[in-house]
Structure 1
């Protein structure tokens, strides 16, 4: 039985810069950090040979986000667009998209367009983290649109405090 989604993994080209962004700008807490170099069981699990990487497991609310920075094998830059196959983006639900846009822009997030308002239902804008990964900032404006259960969230993402 599937219990739920445990974590989303994000490949980054600058571990320190990404860790700062996800903790300071987005409010994730660091649950654990690890490094490995040519560990047989890790190679077997991820399907690589002689892998070397740093990882951090981050948490906000009821979701974990895992940052990966590989130094071996040599990573390729596969910055995706919203229409590409694979895992092109993840979305963060916010309460006030305009203030989050301003706040995240002050942390250096580069947005790919302007905030779009979908009638009275929702608003969205896409931006990139410091390593180029696409993140959707998403505000839900009515109870008919599927959204996170706030009673099960635990702690909330940063509100800039």
Structure 2
């Protein structure tokens, strides 16, 4: 039986920069890591990439883990889906003070599309991380909205 979500994965061209950014900007802590060299048939089959090699780090914020990969073979390329494109389009981080976090992150150099705003139930804004991935900041201001943050 599936009981929850453990992690999502993000590929980056620079794992050290990415892990440092998510630590400084959002408070993620590294809780694991490792890698593999070419010739690991089991991993090549699992990821669908022959002769692959990579480093990885597992980072965590509360109950969310992000597995970060830097592939050395094959080398990847940047993909920046628009919100209307199919597939995963953004990571949403919950905040209990969106205005303060928006101001803090913007002052540290995070680019945002616009200031926080929203409906009667939520306040949100979208910005870009160090690799251009879209990160949403969300604050629920009406706990009766039906999807209130459980923590």
Q: TM-score range by the shorter chain?
A: over 0.9
Taking the aligned partners of 2:53 and 2:109, their CA distance within structure 1 comes to 28
TM-score, normalisation: structure 1: 0.87
The range that moved more, 127-136 or 141-150, is 141-150
Q: How does 1:95-110 map to 2 (within 5 A)?
A: 95-110=96-111
* Shift of residue 96, structure 1, vs aligned partner: 0.9
1:80–1:88 Cα contact (<8 Å) kept: yes
* Shift of residue 107, structure 1, vs aligned partner: 2.7
The alignment of Structure 1 onto Structure 2 pairs a total of residues equal to 149
Taking the aligned partners of 1:43 and 1:107, their CA distance within structure 2 comes to 38
State the 4+ residue runs in structure 1 displaced beyond 3 angstroms: none
Tell me what 1:111 maps to: 112
Tell me what 1:4 maps to: 4
What residue ranges of structure 1 are gaps of 5+ in the alignment? Answer: 151-161
The structure showing larger relative contact order (alpha-carbon pairs under 8 Å, at least 6 residues apart) is 1
What residue ranges of structure 2 are gaps of 5+ in the alignment? Answer: none
TM-score, normalisation: structure 2: 0.92
* Shift of residue 35, structure 1, vs aligned partner: 1.9
Q: How does 1:1-161 map to 2 (within 5 A)?
A: 1-38=1-38, 39-118=40-119, 120-145=120-145, 146-150=147-151
